[in-house]
Amino acid sequence: MAHEAHKKAAEHHTAAAEHHSKAAEHHEAGNHEQGHEHSAKAHEHSSEAHKHSTDAHAKSSAHAGK
């Protein structure tokens, strides 16, 4: 179970990084509206990654205590 949570966290971290990169590209090009959209998506993925990371840590800690 912890493995799946770690995997989901990694997927969301990757997606967040991709959206951050796209946001930077759009901002540099002066397209701030799309930059803000990608920034918002990056934030959503970062929040999901944090949720899954916390879940993975809790499951790993519970397993280690056995």
> Quick check: 19 and 52 in contact, CB under 8 A?
no
Task: Parse the chain into domains and list their residue ranges.
Answer: 2-25+33-53
Token pair of 53, please? 């990371």
For the segment 35-64, the average pLDDT, to the nearest whole number, is: 93
pTM: 0.84
For the segment 8-20, the average pLDDT, to the nearest whole number, is: 97
In the structure, what pLDDT confidence band is assigned to residue 16 with cuts at 50, 70 and 90? Answer: very high
In the structure, what pLDDT confidence band is assigned to residue 65 with cuts at 50, 70 and 90? Answer: low
Q: Is the pLDDT of residue 53 over 80?
A: yes
Q: Rounded distance, CA 36 to CA 19, Å? A: 10
